[in-house]
Amino acid sequence: MASVLVFIDVPGLPLPRASRELLTIARGLGDPVVASPRALEDDVAEALGNCGVAAVYEPEQALPDVLVAAKAAFLADTVRASEPAAVLLGNSFEDREVAARTGVKLGSGVITDAVAVAPDLSVTKSVLAGSYTSTCRVQNGIPIITVKANSVEPESAPVPAVPQRHRIAVSDAGPAARVTGRTEKRVSGRPELSEARVIVAGGRGMDGDFSPVEDLADVLGGAVGASRAATDAGWIEHSAQVGQTGKTVSPQLYISAGISGAIQQKAGMQTAKVIVAVNKDPDAPVFEIADFGIVGDVFSVLPQATEEIKKRRS
């Protein structure tokens, strides 16, 4: 069976859900093998083996600190060495940039925002702000596909493997921006927005006070998202923006609070499995795509929901 190369930048254990999802998809297409841009601890390699990974490719020497350029050079060299049937990556900004650069280096076609990959390597994706589902296939080279988080339920491998370890001599990364300093990001304890299973997002209707959104997200173990109106107003950091020019998310549950539902917002969240909208305007466009709609004031509805969930959990 042909191998399917999964690019995973795993800092440690436990293996992130998004990585286990990619490995589940890869197992449906062939033999999963992993390209890790950093040397792996033995217990991480063993955990990958438990997901059915037959081989792990690591750089011979630590990659230079040049943002994604070195990761793309490493991935391209790994593809040349392993000749997989396809390459899968996550759908974060960084993964998509690695995919794009790798595609250029290999002359391969790249498909982003996939929600499913069939055994014949045709890819399903949601397009035009989520109004259509399209099926497409790479025509040139080895297909490079970035897959949205929460596209499948991660499953463990029926037969664990002991991965063979391969070292890849990485060619020059080419022109690249070098990192000159780093500042620790404030840790919220919440899941990463693009991988979260539950997102509570607030818009202009929050009127500068995101605490009801944060409280509800925290009782649900979810991430906090926002419309562009809220991030532009400086009520919450720009990395929380969901939509056409923000993050594309696909959670199991998306709670939209005080967001009108403009097309650019819908573009980033329309593929959520269940959408709950809270808006005081019964004609708000968000209700057109909501599975459950609550016409009401966010400052009354959100705290009530938070209290009720807390009560039922205690």
Residues that bind ligand FAD (CB under 6 A): 203-205, 227-230, 241, 243-246, 258-260, 262, 264-265, 268, 278-281, 284, 297-299
Q: What share of the chain is helix, strand, coil (3-state, %, to 5)?
A: 30, 25, 45
Cβ-based neighbour number of residue 68 at 10 Å: 22
What minimum distance in Å lies between the beta carbon of 201 and ligand FAD? 8
Helices (H), the chain: 17-29, 42-50, 69-82, 93-106, 211-219, 228-232, 263-269, 298-313
What minimum distance in Å lies between the beta carbon of 267 and ligand FAD? 7
Which residue bears the tokens 């929050």?
206
What minimum distance in Å lies between the beta carbon of 125 and ligand FAD? 18
How far CA 124 is from CA of 116, 145, 211, 250, in Å, comes to 5, 11, 37, 14
57 vs 210 by CB, closer to ligand FAD = 210
What minimum distance in Å lies between the beta carbon of 276 and ligand FAD? 13
What minimum distance in Å lies between the beta carbon of 226 and ligand FAD? 7
Q: At what angle do helices 93-106 and 69-82 cross, to 10 degrees?
A: 50
Which residue bears the tokens 């490719």?
57
Quote the CA–CA distance of 130 and 219 in Å, as a whole number: 29
Quote the CA–CA distance of 252 and 265 in Å, as a whole number: 17
Quote the CA–CA distance of 58 and 151 in Å, as a whole number: 27
193 vs 230 by CB, closer to ligand FAD = 230
What minimum distance in Å lies between the beta carbon of 248 and ligand FAD? 9
What minimum distance in Å lies between the beta carbon of 239 and ligand FAD? 12
Quote the CA–CA distance of 307 and 143 in Å, as a whole number: 48
Quote the CA–CA distance of 284 and 91 in Å, as a whole number: 30
